[in-house]
């Protein structure tokens, strides 16, 4: 019953980021190289949001992509940019510190 109410209200279940990563999702950190060097999720690919359009060809459209940044704002922009360019499985993971906690085993 609760699932029907959530569906009606447009409230989706939180994505299972850990499962996505286990299944090969790409973590795309869209912060600047300096921010990335200061700390990041191991294995994350760094393409600053300002360079994303130019470097989009480096990403596989068939893969699930989880974007992250410092707070979730730039990763939201990156998610929208990727979706507008034909990427179908893109999720805004928000801040990288928070996302790291969600994918930790």
What's the rounded Cα separation, in Å, for the pair 32 and 50? Answer: 9
Average pLDDT, the chain: 91
Please state the pTM of the whole predicted model: 0.88
Residue 22, class by beta-carbon neighbours within 10 Å (0-12 exposed, 13-18 middle, 19+ buried)? exposed
Residue 90: the pLDDT is 97
Q: Which of 21, 44, 68, 69 is catalytic?
A: 69
* Residue 68 annotated as catalytic: no
Where is 42: in which H helix or E strand? none
Residue 75 makes CB contacts below 8 A (sequence gap 6+) with: 28, 30, 49, 67, 68, 69, 92, 93, 94
Query: What's the confidence (pLDDT) of residue 66?
Result: 98
In the prediction, which pLDDT does 14 show?
A: 80
Per-residue model confidence (pLDDT) at position 7? 55
Q: Are 28 and 45 in contact (CB under 8 A)?
A: yes
99: CB partners within 8 A, 6+ apart: 17, 27, 41, 66, 68, 93
Intervals of the chain under pLDDT 50: none
């Amino acid at each position: 019953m609760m699932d029907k109410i959530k569906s009606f209200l447009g409230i989706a279940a939180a994505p299972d980021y850990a499962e996505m990563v286990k299944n090969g999702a790409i973590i795309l950190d869209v912060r600047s190289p300096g921010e990335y060097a200061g700390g990041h999720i191991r294995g994350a690919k760094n393409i600053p949001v300002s360079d994303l359009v130019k470097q989009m060809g480096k990403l596989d459209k068939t893969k699930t992509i989880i974007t992250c940044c410092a707070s979730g704002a730039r990763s939201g922009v990156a998610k929208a940019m990727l979706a507008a360019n034909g990427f179908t499985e893109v999720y805004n993971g928000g801040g990288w510190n928070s996302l790291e906690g969600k994918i930790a085993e």
